[in-house]
Amino acid sequence: MDTSNGLTPLSELVDHYDGLICDIWGVLHNGVAAFDGAVDALRKARAQGCFVILATNAPRLSKDVYPQLARLGVPRDAFDTIITSGDVIKTLIADQPDAPLFHFGPARDHSVLENLPNPIVGLSDARLCLLTGPLDDTIETAEIYQNDLLEMRDNAVRMICANPDLVVRSGDRMVICAGSIAKLYSRLGGQVIFAGKPEAAIYTEALDRAKTIAGRDIKKSRLLAVGDGLPTDFKGAADNGFDAYFIAGGIHAIEFNELGAEGGVKMAINTIKSRYSNLNLVGVCDHLRWI
């Protein structure tokens, strides 16, 4: 990667790829409104023949994300398809179709329960827990749920976490995600299985979608993973063999707030490479933009 020019806009990369696997929250919007520059970049990438697969750790079915994006100002012509971690959890639950299941999450995520064979029960009767997020978006720490988690641990409840993200930026504040609760459950001795990035299932689905869109097999080397989360987007790209493009203005905005300063890009590259030595990082930018 040539870093002499500092930040790398998307226009300098798309000619090398058939498609993008693009994160949503933090890259395309901030939970309040779409980023106009990011929308413009994806539209122009598609105009040049590069398809766009939006891949998100949203713990609900993708059918619910389409209208959400429209409300936030992301037009339908900015992407080809959406994959959510909620779309891939059924494979993780399939080996225990009769296990009583407790949904730990807000009502807006209820669609993820659609067509599951498991009986839906309360916490005390559960043998599986499908975790989609905190019950209250205003809480600042997962420890508020410690008593519930201890009860599940003592009952040997296996937790399936449908959103590995620890936090997400919502407007100007950070909000904890399901990953923070799952991390605490694991620390307390509970068993946790993760869906979504960085796990392989969502990338396998992305390759299947790419084949459908293109009408032919697409090699991993022809897909670029675009994201802002190091432990999800970039660990996922590294572990699953995809090139990666880092957007610094998302959840790591404070950590990389000197990106535009002299040496800032090099510092960001060195930081990322030190964490994921097997990652092929092809570009770094402050925000997803075309030029």
Whether 169 and 234 map to the same domain: the answer is: no
Whether 30 and 42 map to the same domain: the answer is: yes
Whether 165 and 244 map to the same domain: the answer is: no
Q: Quick count: other Cβ atoms within 10 Å of Cβ 213? A: 16
Whether 17 and 111 map to the same domain: the answer is: no
pLDDT at 262: 61
Whether 108 and 74 map to the same domain: the answer is: no
**Which residue, 194, 216, 244, sits at the end of a domain?**
194
**Which residue, 194, 225, 256, sits at the end of a domain?**
194
Residue 74 phi, psi (nearest 5): -95, 110
pLDDT at 268: 87
User: Using CB atoms within 10 A of its CB, is residue 222 exposed (0-12), middle (13-18) or buried (19+)?
Assistant: middle
Q: What is the pLDDT along the chain (291 residues), one digit of tens a residue?
A: 444 448 999 999 999 999 999 999 999 999 899 999 999 999 999 999 999 999 999 888 999 999 999 999 999 999 999 999 989 888 888 888 999 999 999 999 998 999 899 999 999 999 999 999 999 888 889 999 999 999 999 999 999 999 998 887 776 677 899 999 999 999 999 999 999 999 999 999 999 999 999 999 999 999 999 999 999 999 999 999 999 999 998 778 777 776 666 678 888 899 999 999 999 999 999 999 999
Whether 190 and 213 map to the same domain: the answer is: no
- Tell which residue, 202, 223, 141, has the closest CA to residue 177: 141
**Which residue, 160, 179, 194, sits at the end of a domain?**
194
The CATH number assigned to the domain holding 207 equals: 3.40.50.1000
Whether 185 and 210 map to the same domain: the answer is: no
Three-state secondary structure call for residue 208: helix
Task: Indicate whether 61 belongs to any domain.
Answer: yes
Whether 136 and 175 map to the same domain: the answer is: yes
Whether 153 and 276 map to the same domain: the answer is: no
Place of tokens 């990389």: 256
pLDDT at 258: 65
Whether 169 and 211 map to the same domain: the answer is: no
Looking at residue 123, what DSSP letter applies? G
Whether 104 and 171 map to the same domain: the answer is: yes
Parent domain of 41: 10-87+199-285
Task: Indicate whether 164 belongs to any domain.
Answer: yes
Structurally, the chain folds into a number of domains equal to: 2
Task: Indicate whether 2 belongs to any domain.
Answer: no
Interacting residues of 166 by C-beta distance below 8 A, sequence separation 6+: 176, 177, 179, 180, 183, 231
Whether 243 and 188 map to the same domain: the answer is: no
